[in-house]
Amino acid sequence: MWLKKIIAAIALLCFGALGYYALHPAVNIHQQGIWLLLFLLFLLIALLSAIGKLAGGKGQSRVIVIQHLREIPLVSRIFVILAVTTAVLFLIGELAGATLFRSRSYASLLPVEERVFEEDIAESDRVTDIALMDTESARIFGSRKIGSLSDVVSQYEVEPDYTQIAIQGKPWKVSGLKYASFFKWWNNRKNGIPGYVKVDPTNSEAQYVKLDQGMRYVPSGYFNYNLQRHVQLKYPTKIFDSYHFELDDEGNPYYICPTKTARIGLFDGMDINGAVICDPISGDCQYYDRKDIPSWADSVYSGNLLTQKYNWHGMLLGGYFNSIFEQKGCKQATDDFGYKIILDDVWIYTGVTSVNGDKSNIGFIMMNQRTSEARFYRVSGAEEHSAMAAAEGEVQEKGYRASFPSLINVAGIPTYVMVLKDSGGLVKLYAMVNVEQYNIVATATTQSKVFENYLKLLKSQGNTEIDESKQKQETITVTDIQYIDTDDGVIVYLKDNAHQVYKQAFKENESLIKITAGDQLRITYLEGVDGIHTLLEFTII
């Protein structure tokens, strides 16, 4: 009998060890699954310890069986009590985190500071700090880049989850590669993943970066080389929120693995409390408390978690019953978000609307993905999907679809900016839509041109102070003149003796034909980037 129990105990331990290795759950009281596992384990031990006594009742009368039940071993009774206690504590933990009782605690998880739009968001004359390309388009460009590399595409694929990061203030979307199958992992496991993909979301260019040493600890790896298992076994008590591929400022690859804990009750109000940063080449891991996470790590708080926290704040600040019935002051985030770079941090942007669903925003919220700092800007106007529809309507005959927009400051005026894509996911046009008057829509094939068109529309609507505040005057000597045929018509480019370039559409001013090389001009222009400016007026001296 004792031998059977020993064998059963060993089998149970082996089964538990294999299950833990395969599933690698977090051993943490704030993880709901661990309570279910304990409950089942206690019941199983109680049952196994009672088998001998119950088996002894086989073929005997009912009275004798009842007597055996009364003689259940003390060990079995103890583990039954433990199972019941586990179930009771689990229910108490669930109730302790219910929004019915803790609505104000949920609302306070995200402190929100109201700020002034014009003071915080610098005026833009180009889009260099906004990831206009969405993840779907990044996947297309990344896959095409890898598809052109025959030695890579035969063994690897691009991970579908691109991470939005900032490197020296510039936005990038990055993704590691993954093994195409188990056998391709087996054949390449010693060398690892050879590189990663970078996509520039502002100009739609993809790069493949080959590493000197391959990444062996990746999400598509197997056994001890599986990233999730590798990190969880190193930190068995940590609850991991997700795994994000990132680069440091030198271009070295890392996986950012945020950890979370319950802030409300036993299981609820899950929030980030730190992060493990894993080197996928060596497998080295380092845990950082939330306040100590390196500044180059951008994706600590996911966009979904931040918008959920804001919705708790917006809906529950007035109490649970107010969020259900009266809904006074209740507001919520739009169902999607975009990205903006401020300094060297990635912020998510999303509109804020009242719960009555009137298709308009009362403002917008920006939240830092590294620190969770939240800023609310009271800017009323069309919500994002209405602006997207307005942009699509400008070119409805082409059937282009708009990406989720971001918000920029154009001469103090809140403006949506987005890209329009064809059915293949390729960026075809840029669009700008006035937030307060979303019938003011400008489109163009280039960023500089869409800014120019938008400013002209604002001027035609009576916003003449916009151009005047940005106009500059200069006397130049023309050294060269070029007429370039573009999708927007013929553009005239003038080059001066200081190597500055001024451009204007020929259809807007046909007197440009009078200018020849060597002419001296008195010009009025809008300063552009990289020495290419927008010509507004000129006089031949």
Cβ pair 176, 253 in contact under 8 A: yes
Render the burial of 99-124: b for 16+ CB within 10 Å, e for the rest. Answer: beebbebbbbbbebeeeebeeebeeb
Residues 187 and 162 in one domain: yes
- pLDDT at position 469 is 58
pLDDT-derived band at 129 (thresholds 50, 70, 90) equals low
Residues 176 and 306 in one domain: no
- pLDDT at position 488 is 61
Q: What is the pLDDT of residues 500-524, one digit of tens each?
A: 999 888 877 888 999 999 999 999 8
Residues 370 and 434 in one domain: no
**d(C-alpha 317, C-alpha 210), whole Å:** 49
What is the residue range of 498's domain?
467-540
pLDDT-derived band at 5 (thresholds 50, 70, 90) equals low
Q: Which range among 209-218, 235-244, 277-286, 480-489 shows the weakest confidence by mean pLDDT?
A: 480-489
Residues 296 and 310 in one domain: no
Q: Which range among 218-232, 314-328, 449-463, 496-510 shows the weakest confidence by mean pLDDT?
A: 449-463
CA-nearest of 456, 476, 474 to 466 is: 456
Q: How many CB atoms lie within 10 A of CB 223?
A: 10
Beta strands 338-342 and 345-354: pairing type? antiparallel
**Which of 443, 462, 481 is at the close of a domain?**
462
- pLDDT at position 358 is 63
**Number of domains, the chain:** 5
| Element spanning 289, H or E | strand 285-289
Q: Is the dihedral of CA 511, 516, 521, 525 positive or negative?
A: positive
Within a domain: residue 101?
no
- pLDDT at position 17 is 86
Cα 191 to Cα 151, 159, 178, 204, 346, distances in angstroms: 14, 18, 13, 30, 32
Give the contacts of 263 (CB within 8 A, at least 6 positions apart). Answer: 105, 109, 269, 270, 271
Q: Which residue has the higher pLDDT, 370 or 489?
A: 370
**How large is the average pLDDT for residues 151-180?**
91
- pLDDT at position 243 is 95
Q: What is the pLDDT of residues 441-480, one digit of tens each?
A: 999 887 778 888 888 888 777 665 555 656 788 999 999 9
pLDDT-derived band at 315 (thresholds 50, 70, 90) equals very high
**Vertex 230, ends 225 and 236: CA angle to 5°?**
160
Does residue 66 surpass a pLDDT of 60?
no
Does residue 118 surpass a pLDDT of 90?
no
Residues 273 and 391 in one domain: no
Within a domain: residue 333?
yes
Does residue 112 surpass a pLDDT of 70?
yes
Residues 374 and 438 in one domain: no
**Which of 379, 407, 434 is at the close of a domain?**
379
DSSP 5-42: HHHHHHHHHHHHHHHHHHH-----TT-HHHHHHHHHHH
pLDDT-derived band at 65 (thresholds 50, 70, 90) equals very low
Kindly report the backbone phi and psi dihedral angles of residue 127, in degrees, each rounded to the nearest multiple of 5, phi listed first.
-115, 95
Q: Is the dihedral of CA 131, 115, 122, 418 positive or negative?
A: positive
Beta strands 253-264 and 239-240: pairing type? antiparallel
**d(C-alpha 442, C-alpha 211), whole Å:** 42
Residues 33 and 87 in one domain: yes
**How large is the average pLDDT for residues 153-163?**
91
Cβ pair 33, 239 in contact under 8 A: no
Cα 173 to Cα 143, 164, 276, 532, distances in angstroms: 13, 5, 21, 27
- pLDDT at position 499 is 87
- pLDDT at position 144 is 86
Residues 271 and 140 in one domain: yes
Residues 187 and 245 in one domain: yes
Cβ pair 529, 448 in contact under 8 A: yes
| Element spanning 245, H or E | strand 244-247
- pLDDT at position 254 is 98
Residues 140 and 277 in one domain: yes
Residues 146 and 231 in one domain: yes
- pLDDT at position 536 is 84
Kindly report the backbone phi and psi dihedral angles of residue 295, in degrees, each rounded to the nearest multiple of 5, phi listed first.
-65, -20
Residues 30 and 146 in one domain: no
pLDDT-derived band at 530 (thresholds 50, 70, 90) equals low
Specify whether the backbone of 182 is left (phi greater than 0), alpha (psi in -120 to 50) or beta.
Answer: alpha
CATH of the domain at 528: 2.40.50.140
- pLDDT at position 70 is 60
**How large is the average pLDDT for residues 7-23?**
82
**Which of 354, 379, 404 is at the close of a domain?**
379
Does residue 334 surpass a pLDDT of 60?
yes
**How large is the average pLDDT for residues 395-401?**
92
What residues form DSSP beta bridges with 350? 365
Return mean pLDDT, the chain: 88
Within a domain: residue 102?
no
Report the percent of the chain where pLDDT is more than 70.
92
**Vertex 67, ends 61 and 71: CA angle to 5°?**
140
Q: Which residue has the higher pLDDT, 74 or 227?
A: 227
